[in-house]
Each structure stands twice: as C-alpha cells, then as structure tokens.
Amino acid sequence: MRYKKLGRTGQEVSVIGFGASPLGNEFGGIDPAEGERAVDAAIDNGINFFDTSPYYGRTLSEERLGKALEGKRHKVVLATKCGRYDLNGFDFSAARVKTSVEESLRRLRTDHIDVFTAHDIEFGDREQIINETLPAMRELQKQGKIGFVGISALPLKILADVAARGKVDTIISYSHFNLMMRDLDNLLTPTAEANGIGLINAAALHLRILTREGPTPQHPASPAIKEAGRKIVAAIEARGLDAAVTAVSFALRHSYSSSLLVGMSRVDEVQSNLMALDLQIDPALLAEIDGILTPVKNQIWPSGRPENADA
C-alpha cells in the first residue's frame, strides 16, 4: 500500500480508501458477515482510510462499520458526514450538526471522528454552510469530538468557493477525475493546493457506469453518457482487462488527491482494488477511450440547487 499526507491535517491515508456505502445496502443487499471480512481484509492489506455517512443505508452503513471496526479503531482514519440523512432529507443547521455527531459516535462505537464532512452541500444554502454549518463543526473540533472539518459535493464551483471562504481541512469530490471525467484540475485542485486542503477523490467507476453490469436504472447520467461508458467497458474488456480494476488504476493517477474512495463490501472487491495499484494502462487504450468520450467530454449530470450548479 502507498500512503499520502491528507493536506495540512498531518494524517497519512492509504491511496485506496474504503468507501463504506455498500455496507448500508446502497447498491443492493449484502452479507453482513462478508462485509466485516472485507473490512478486516482491507486493514490487513494496509487500507487505513474508511469513509461512511448516516445517509448510507439510512444509518446502516455506520452501524455495520462500527461493529466491524471494534478492536481495530486505532488502526484507521475514520470519516463520516453530516447534513444529508435521506434522499431528500437535508439539514445543515448548527443544532443538527451537533446531534448528528453524537449519533454517529454511538453507531461507530468510537469517541471521536477523524474527518467530519458536510455531505452534499450543493443541496444546502451556501451562506448557511459557511456561516453556520462549518462553525458548528469547528466547535466540535475544539471539543475533541472530531479531528478535521470537510465538505463534499458533485459541482466543483461550490466546493472551491466554500473551501476557500470557509477554510476547510478536506474536500471529497466525486466523478470528476476518472476514465470518463477529467475536469477536477480546472478549478478545484488549484484551490485545494493553494490552501493546503486535503483532496479526496471518489467514484472511479462513475457510479457503476464503468462496470460490466452497468449502472442502475436510477443513475442520473444522460443516455449518451451511459452509452459511452458501455463502449469504454467493451474496449477495456477486449484487451482482457477488468473494467473496474482499470478504472480504479486510472483514478489513482491523480497527482494531488490523497486517497481514492472505492465502495467495497466483499473480500474479492478489496483484492481487485489492490490489483489496481500495480496495473499499467496501455496508452493506446487511453487514446481509444478519449475518442469514445468526444461526444460527451466532461459532461456531468445536475445535482443540488440550481444556484449551486457549475453551469
């Protein structure tokens, strides 16, 4: 395993992070015992960054991860979130931030959270996030309940703005640096670097578009994006490669991000993601993929309030 500093936090995190949303049945039911074995396998192989949220499985992910980490909590950098609790359930108020952390601490069976992230801030009021949510999180930091304060979203401009004005420690960005999207460095990476903010990348599979099984019917991408993803998977498999492993390998190339969060709930998924550490991708394959992407280059789906959109 390789490790990187997480911005100015001083934390060293594994370049592959354990995304725990599948532990909450976010992509279908799982075997809870296999989920625990996956957590053990990840730790045994050097993965030390674990990220969850009360939103994932509507608290189920936190509950299962907390149980799986009993006796091993000291081995990991543990991250969870606040602000999003259901599909359309958002509350970024200071009062809810403070109750949320207490609930997460109980479910995760710990006395502190290493990284506490305001979840999907594009669904909230930007000024409330800066003037109420983040200050409340800083209070929790002073109390020793959390280590560092972060934000997450899909649109990039709100992340860059809130990160700079709100002086956050970490950012989680998803679906903006992978085989299908390459626009993370247009705005967000320079902001993170200039301010010493730890950048965490996620969604190397573009929310499962870059898998043989393909995305769920509920995936918000356009038909054209999904078709491009299907063609990319076919091009990868034509070379005898696993599409998911190849996608993870590519996303690991980002020079500044500290960790790549990948959803896992089975031991074989942990093992596949570890294979990506050493995979070398043929430049000819990347050129073919770039050609496939031409009609949908850097196109993303909308997320959140209109005023928080990138366009």
0.95 exceeded by the pTM?
A: yes
Question: Please, which pLDDT band fits residue 75 given cuts at 50, 70 and 90?
Answer: very high
Active site residues: 56
Nearest Cα residue to 92 out of 308, 311, 259, 310? 308
User: Quick one: tokens of 57?
Assistant: 């499985």
Would the pLDDT of 311 be above 90?
A: no
Q: Are 142 and 101 in contact (CB under 8 A)?
A: no
pLDDT in tens, 77-106: 999 999 999 999 999 999 999 999 999 999
Confidence of residue 28 (pLDDT cuts 50, 70, 90): confident
Q: Share the mean pLDDT of the chain.
A: 97
pLDDT at 30 over 80: yes
Percent of all residues in the chain with a pLDDT value above 90, rounded to a whole number: 98
Mean pLDDT confidence for 301-307: 97
> Parallel, antiparallel, or unpaired for β 84-86 and 12-14?
unpaired
Kindly report, residue by residue over 184-202, the tens digit of the pLDDT: 999 999 999 999 999 999 9
CA distance 119 to 116: 9
- How many CB atoms lie under 10 A from the CB of residue 240? 6
Q: So what's the pLDDT on residue 27?
A: 86
Q: Which CATH architecture has domain 3-207+243-281?
A: Alpha-Beta Barrel (3.20)
pLDDT tens track for 5-18: 999 999 999 999 99
Q: Is 231 helix (H, G, I), strand (E, B) or coil?
A: helix
